[in-house]
Structure 1
Amino acid sequence: MPEKYDDHALDGEKNAVDVQLGEFIDPAREKKLLAKLDLALVPIIMLTYLACFLDRSNIGNVKVAGMPEDIGASAEQFSTAVSLMYLTYVLCETPWAVLLKKFTPKYTIGGLCVVWSLTTIFSGFVTSVGGLYAARLVLGACEGGLFPGLNLYLTMIYKREEMAKRVAYLFVCTALAGAFGGLLAYGILQMDGVAGMAGWRWVYIIEGIFSVGVAVVVFVFLPNDPNNAYFLNDDDKRLMQIRARQRAAYMGSEDFSWAEVKIALTDPKVVLSGLIQFCQDILLYGFSTFLPSIIKSLGYDSLQAQYLTIPVYIFGGLAFLAVAWFSDRTSIRGPLVAFANIFGIIGYILIICPTPNGVKFFGTFLCAVAVYNGPGLNMSWLNVNVAPQYRRATAIGFQQTIGNTAGIVAGQIYRKSPYVLGNAFSLGALGMAQILIACKWLYLRHCNNVKQRIADGAEDTRRVQTGDAATDFKYHL
């Protein structure tokens, strides 16, 4: 009897049985194993992504602290610096995703963390626009490999129905980075004048040193092979091997194949996912980078703008955790992305329209729901619907490459207070995302219907019939 791909056949007690091998996992024992994995690995993964996003988005904090004026950067040049990071970022995502297996997770992720940390520290000593440009280009080249790498690492540990919540942890880190970054920047800026340096320079230096410490944690504690991790006992390792066989259809062969790369790049659901991610990332990068500036444009001073970002980011992160948990429980993906976007649409309308500043500030909370749920849920929606491994690695890298070009756009649309262009563009991106989400949902439903007809005896004339195209692999909608 062939192994079934249908995730619903893996729920409850059925999830404890490898239908191909007949191996049994006690559900209670598996739950304890998952708790141990989460406790040991998720904090490291979250800490690494927190450091990454902190070093990427702190340019928004230093902007309101006087950095552009100190280095002689005009508004246009500063926007260019924001955009430049995403140029190398998008070019490096897919190569790093594919090379992760060759260089191993520990050395790939840890090595990238070291280089971007040092780059962040050196950013505290730039004296010209050219120096800022160079630092941002290096930062993008290193950080571009992190999210695809961490996402692939998660697929080495968790099953399809366990993924959305773990991917949510990564995107919650973007919210934590905003909240922690605002709080940290508020505190560090009090060092203005220490050792004869401006406060914004200390923001870069101290946050960069923090990231170096994170790199050490990665090198010491992140196992290259989670199935044989140092914190697992012999029974745990046996269960991990059984789980690995249960995920075999999802993971697929570990041998590199150009054919799988080609299939991923020509897959309509991957292309649609990339376009959705582009629209959602317009919000993510515009909001996370320029929220201090947006709040300052409401009439607050620079320090107030730093700490007022904190509750907004925390609310967005908590909203994402709640929706991601529900998504894993129900295997509902696309409709939840569209639902979260409704909050963002309302939020941006409140900010753009001539409403009181208090209402505009409330609008930022609504925007935060879409800012984090949109890209995070769309990422997990693709992740659980592509197999085998190198097809998935290419799909993730391609989706993130298309999506992260939004960072280039975000730097150009948020130029001058009160940022009407940037907020209006973000609103339009949400509207376009809703259309694309509907198209992808209808396409996946069509694919599931075609598979069902083939399973019922119809002729299979499809070009691709393996991996996620197999008739017993049911796409999550």
Structure 2
Amino acid sequence: MSDKEETLQHVEDKSTDYNEVNNSVAPDSVVQLNCTAVTESRLRLKIDLYIVPIASLMYLFCFIDRANIGNAKLAGLEKDLGMTGYDYNTLLSIFYISYIIFEIPSNMACKWLGPGWVLPALTLGFGICSVCTAFVHTLSSAAGVRFVLGMFEAGLLPGISYYLSRWYRRQELAFRISMYMVMAPLAGAFGGLLASAILKLPSFGNLETWRMIFAIEGIITIGIAIIAFLTLTDRPDTARWLTQAEKELATTRIRSESAHVGVAVVLDRLDMKKTIRGVLNPVTLVMAWIMLLVNVTVQGLAFFTPTIVRTIYPDRSVISQQLYTVPPYIIGAVSTLLIPYLSSRFNNRLIFFVLVPPIMMMGYTMFLASSDPRVRYGATFLIAFGSFPVGVLCNAHSAANVVSDTARASAIGAVVMLGNIGGLISTWSFLPFDAPNYYIGNGLNLATGTITLLTAAILWLWTTWDNKKRDKKGHQQQLESLAEMSSQQLEDMEWRHPKFRWRV
């Protein structure tokens, strides 16, 4: 064998055989572990039971502590703080300024310090902020607390998605992400019920009316953070609730999906090249754009559904209006679980990016076409069904189309960071002068749904085209281009690696 042939063979081995690039697990045991479907299924269920419930609870109260300001508005927040004109919209916007700024830094800290510590600490922080909101008496103090709330909440959504990517295969990830992100619509439903129940109390200590909402929900959040500190573990090999064989299988499952492009470890060190490649990955950028568009709807629905309900049922009591906000979120929760489950079942996310937005578009068309309260209330069900699962698919699809752990952390952080610019836009989409029909807000959301559909269709076509283009390059030519590279250089290539293929 010539020197050149030996070099090419070395690259072939380095790029494709994950049994040999990692010496911590013997090759025979890797084969045995991966061949036992029942063992893998049992492990997956165990991870589901230990990881998903606490992550879901953290995100539930993250969303409640963010969106309960809409319930507080109905209960007298504006009057007590002397808010007029666009003060409410300004208060909502303050949150998103810090929320956007701290998104990527928070997710990189999650990788650096470990999600088992960072995620509970963030939860504790925004729980304390919620309690503090109960004691504000001016608009400026409320704005200050909302800014700090955004700092703590910024890292939770992308942090949990990144955390789950340490435990699940790419095909499994969308449904697991949906199992915690379903808490966003459930927070709208449960938050309305909880706010209604709290408002029935005469007082909580010296606090009354809307102040009780923030205080009680904040205390619950702090309790969940304490539980998370005690139960979350950074990664499979530090989980006390896994046997040694289960740790090896959990680690090998994740490693095997990137071994063909030269990745030898599951958790790599922070690397600036991979961080940048994760952010500038074409799929990451498109997912961030779609996340921005859909967040205009999702966040707007959270903040303004109580207001919309009040315009539809102006003569109902405050508690009754709170309860009317619940059913659309239940439908949104069903959609958030159903669509990602189907995407995992068929191992295809792009098709659902194309199928789901038209449902949301139908809802906003009904809003614009009719002033009948029953028609418009019915439209909120279509909007919730068509908008909530898109964010899950964005996180899952960006995670599925990067290679290393570092790139995954930065990619998910970028998607959520740029996506939340849509949340900032949503705070100004339903303006007081546009009430009660909100033609501007509804028209804007119809436009974002349409653009989401077109963007997803274009991405699907480009993905198919680029994969075919990569397939046309000869296998020998690919190996020759990699022959002079070190293992680190191969890892740093990320999606530029010749053997990389985009996932649909």
TM-score, normalised via structure 1 length: 0.92
Q: 1:470 to 1:253 in 2, by over 3 A?
A: farther
Q: 1:455 to 1:373 in 2, by over 3 A?
A: farther
Equivalent residue letter for 1:270: T
Cα distance in 1 for residues equivalent to 2:334 and 2:75: 28
Cα distance in 2 for residues equivalent to 1:449 and 1:390: 27
2:501 to 467, 474, 477: 474
Contact 1:3 1:20 in 2 (8 A): no
Name the stretch that deviates more: 432-441 or 120-129: 432-441
Q: 1:218 to 1:3 in 2, by over 3 A?
A: farther
Q: 1:225 to 1:427 in 2, by over 3 A?
A: same
Contact 2:33 2:249 in 1 (8 A): no
Contact 1:252 1:387 in 2 (8 A): no
Shift of 1:30: 0.8
- Confirm or deny that 1:454 pairs with 2:473: yes
Q: 1:252 to 1:201 in 2, by over 3 A?
A: same
- Confirm or deny that 1:63 pairs with 2:63: no
Pairing of 1:9-408 with structure 2 (within 5 A): 22-25=31-34, 26-192=36-202, 195=205, 197-249=207-259, 254-300=268-314, 301=316, 302-408=318-424
Contact 1:75 1:415 in 2 (8 A): no
Q: 1:253 to 1:32 in 2, by over 3 A?
A: closer
Counterpart in the other structure of 1:433: 452
Shift of 1:203: 0.3
Contact 1:282 1:407 in 2 (8 A): yes
Cα distance in 1 for residues equivalent to 2:234 and 2:463: 34
Equivalent residue letter for 1:73: M
Is the radius of gyration larger for structure 1 or structure 2? 2
Shift of 1:211: 0.2
Shift of 1:382: 1.3
Q: 1:223 to 1:264 in 2, by over 3 A?
A: closer
Contact 1:455 1:471 in 2 (8 A): no
Shift of 1:149: 1.1
Cα distance in 2 for residues equivalent to 1:141 and 1:405: 15
Shift of 1:307: 0.9
Cα distance in 2 for residues equivalent to 1:271 and 1:198: 45
Shift of 1:139: 0.5
Structure 1, residues 13-43: CA drift from partner, whole Å, max 9, x if none?
A: xxxxx89964443101110111111011100
Contact 2:30 2:252 in 1 (8 A): no
Shift of 1:2: 5.1
Shift of 1:273: 1.6
Structure 1, residues 300-319: CA drift from partner, whole Å, max 9, x if none?
A: 43222211121211111111
Aligned residues: 466
Q: 1:461 to 1:345 in 2, by over 3 A?
A: farther
Name the stretch that deviates more: 151-160 or 353-362: 353-362
Contact 2:335 2:386 in 1 (8 A): no
Cα distance in 2 for residues equivalent to 1:187 and 1:378: 34
What percentage of aligned pairs have identical amino acids? 27
Contact 2:233 2:239 in 1 (8 A): yes
Shift of 1:447: 2.2
Shift of 1:264: 2.8
Cα distance in 2 for residues equivalent to 1:355 and 1:73: 28
Secondary structure in structure 2 of the residue aligned to 1:191: coil
Cα distance in 1 for residues equivalent to 2:338 and 2:28: 32
Contact 2:167 2:235 in 1 (8 A): no
Cα distance in 1 for residues equivalent to 2:88 and 2:371: 29
Equivalent residue letter for 1:299: Y
Cα distance in 1 for residues equivalent to 2:351 and 2:172: 19
Contact 1:291 1:309 in 2 (8 A): yes
Shift of 1:446: 2.2
Contact 1:94 1:398 in 2 (8 A): yes
Cα distance in 2 for residues equivalent to 1:283 and 1:3: 46
Shift of 1:266: 3.0
Cα distance in 2 for residues equivalent to 1:474 and 1:252: 19
Contact 2:116 2:229 in 1 (8 A): yes
Cα distance in 2 for residues equivalent to 1:176 and 1:335: 25
Equivalent residue letter for 1:424: G
Q: 1:170 to 1:91 in 2, by over 3 A?
A: same
Q: 1:241 to 1:257 in 2, by over 3 A?
A: closer
Secondary structure in structure 2 of the residue aligned to 1:54: helix
Secondary structure in structure 2 of the residue aligned to 1:126: coil
Counterpart in the other structure of 1:14: none
Contact 2:291 2:418 in 1 (8 A): yes
Secondary structure in structure 2 of the residue aligned to 1:130: helix
Q: 1:30 to 1:72 in 2, by over 3 A?
A: same
Contact 1:4 1:19 in 2 (8 A): no
Name the stretch that deviates more: 181-190 or 382-391: 382-391
Shift of 1:335: 2.0
Q: 5+ residue gaps in structure 1?
A: 6-17
Cα distance in 2 for residues equivalent to 1:322 and 1:164: 11
Cα distance in 1 for residues equivalent to 2:146 and 2:83: 14
Secondary structure in structure 2 of the residue aligned to 1:413: coil
Name the stretch that deviates more: 248-257 or 167-176: 248-257
Q: 1:261 to 1:101 in 2, by over 3 A?
A: closer
Name the stretch that deviates more: 253-262 or 372-381: 253-262
Contact 1:93 1:400 in 2 (8 A): yes
Q: 1:100 to 1:200 in 2, by over 3 A?
A: same
Shift of 1:193: 5.1
Equivalent residue letter for 1:283: T
Cα distance in 2 for residues equivalent to 1:197 and 1:105: 35
1:414 to 414, 430, 454: 430
